[in-house]
Amino acid sequence: MNIAVIKGDGIGPEIVNQALDVLVRAGEKFGFECKFTDVLMGGCAIDQTGVPLPEETLSVCMQSDAVLLGAVGGAKWDSLPGHLRPEAGLLGLRGALGLFANIRPVKLFSALSSASPLKLSTAETPLDLVIVRELTGGAYFGKRSTSTDSKGIKTATDSMTYSDFEIERLVRAGFELAMKRRKKLHSVDKANVLDSSRLWREIAHKVKSGYPDVEYQDMLVDNCAMQLIRNPMQFDVIVTENLFGDILSDEASMLTGSLGMLPSASLGGGSLGLYEPIHGSAPDIAGKDIANPIAMILSVSMMLDHSLAAAAQEGRKFKDAALAIENAVLSVLNDGYRTADLTADGVSAEKNVSCSEMGQLIKERL
């Protein structure tokens, strides 16, 4: 399989290296080979080529079976104009590859049940929800401007724009996922204020009629933010627009113990997908070998499960490899090993492991 690899900035290279080791090991075990092509995107691309998303990166990604991405961004590039920032590269890539559905599973591993700052009563119902975030529309891709009028008043505008077809395909992806899960779907919007949300709700209701087996509920985004803390076990699949999904997924990550636990898959119409942790480049801990590589490693698992299984003749072995990686992570956590971000509930010195030790433990377990 051909994998485009974007190590990116900050902790990106450290976590990607661990994830690639795990992937190679999975290939040996399950009988497949990956060819990795390193490409630049984000701050490192700006430094080397002057732009956050070089043409060559885009064309390599388009010709690959999947794209693996660490993280991009950092203080060094913060003063650049918006269209030249590292994040513009990421948005450009998501947009150019047509990856409109961002799947963000939020699953609490039982070994980490006390690692969350929240006390969850997960004894009866496990915490296992998925946020399906719209990824190529809304305020991220709407028109922006900043201007100063004759009185010296400075004004900035970001427009949140959605067309019916963009909402429909995303909501449909959510329903399809719900059908494979617990058949429950919350559509999250701000229809009491925003026009784009009122259209969202109208379209969601149309799509809903095709899925009578799915229990459907509209929920306002402020209420959803509260419900995620009050009783996150009520959720199965959440569909929502780009900005709301960005915010809610960071919030939801803390239910699992750490932002460093959440993987994601960005999918479009075909089998090509982009796989990245939901967290950022964490410049403050970059180069110290203390980052948590699990979100990145679980992103590899999602890549096997989605893109590689779909692109291959025999998808079964990729699905098996995906599950084996998840089980290896589980097993290492069950044995008490923790990276620094997961030690809030206490851990002995020998089980407090570095990024590379965590990666190697998972690889060995596999």
β-pairing, 2-8 vs 66-71, is parallel
Nearer to ligand IPM, 199 or 278 (CB): 278
Q: Residue 87 or residue 158: which is nearer to ligand IPM going by CB? A: 87
Selected catalytic residue, list 65, 189, 236, 246: 246
Q: Is 353 in the site for ligand IPM (CB under 6 A)?
A: no
User: Which of Mg ion, ligand IPM, none binds 90 (CB below 5-8 Å, type-dependent)?
Assistant: ligand IPM
Determine contact, residues 79/48, Cβ cutoff 8 Å.
no
Tell me if residue 21 is catalytic.
Answer: no
Say which DSSP state 308 is in: I
280 binds ligand IPM (CB under 6 A): yes
284 is catalytic: no
Question: Is-catalytic flag, 140?
Answer: yes
| Cβ-closest position to ligand IPM | 87
Asked if residue 87 binds ligand IPM (CB under 6 A), the reply is yes
Active-site residue (options: 21, 189, 190, 236): 190
Per-residue contact string for residues 260-279; x = within reach of ligand IPM by CB under 6 A: ------------------x-
Question: Rounded to the nearest whole angstrom, what is the least distance from the CB of residue 61 to ligand IPM in the complex?
Answer: 16
d(C-alpha 216, C-alpha 233), whole Å: 15
Any idea what DSSP says for residue 306?
I
Q: Which of 246, 276, 305, 341 contacts Mg ion by CB under 5 A?
A: 246
How much of the chain is in helix, strand and coil states, percent to nearest 5? 50, 20, 35
User: Which listed residue (128, 158, 218, 250) is catalytic?
Assistant: 250
Residue 89 contacts residue 52 (beta carbons within 8 Å): yes
Considering just the CA atoms, what is the radius of gyration of the chain in Å?
20
Q: Is 246 in the site for ligand IPM (CB under 6 A)?
A: yes
| Residue showing tokens 């379209």 | 203
How many residues bind to ligand IPM according to rule CB under 6 A?
6
Decide whether 73 or 273 has the Cβ nearer to ligand IPM. Answer: 73
Q: Is 250 among the catalytic positions?
A: yes
The rounded Cα 321 to chain-centroid distance in angstroms is: 20
Q: How far is the CB of 246 from ligand IPM (least distance, A)?
A: 4
d(CA 340, CA 291): 7
User: What does the angle CA 347 – CA 260 – CA 278 come to, to the nearest 5 degrees?
Assistant: 170
Q: How far apart are CA 313 and CA 31, in angstroms?
A: 13
Q: Give the other-Cβ count within 10 Å of 158's Cβ.
A: 14
From the candidates 7, 9, 65, 140, which is the catalytic residue?
140
The C-alpha atoms of residue 4 and residue 339 are separated, in whole angstroms, by 27
73 interacts with ligand IPM by CB under 6 A: yes
Minimum CB–partner distance for residue 267 and ligand IPM (Å)? 14
Q: Which residues bind ligand IPM (CB under 6 A)?
A: 73, 87, 90, 246, 278, 280
Residues with active-site annotation: 140, 190, 222, 246, 250
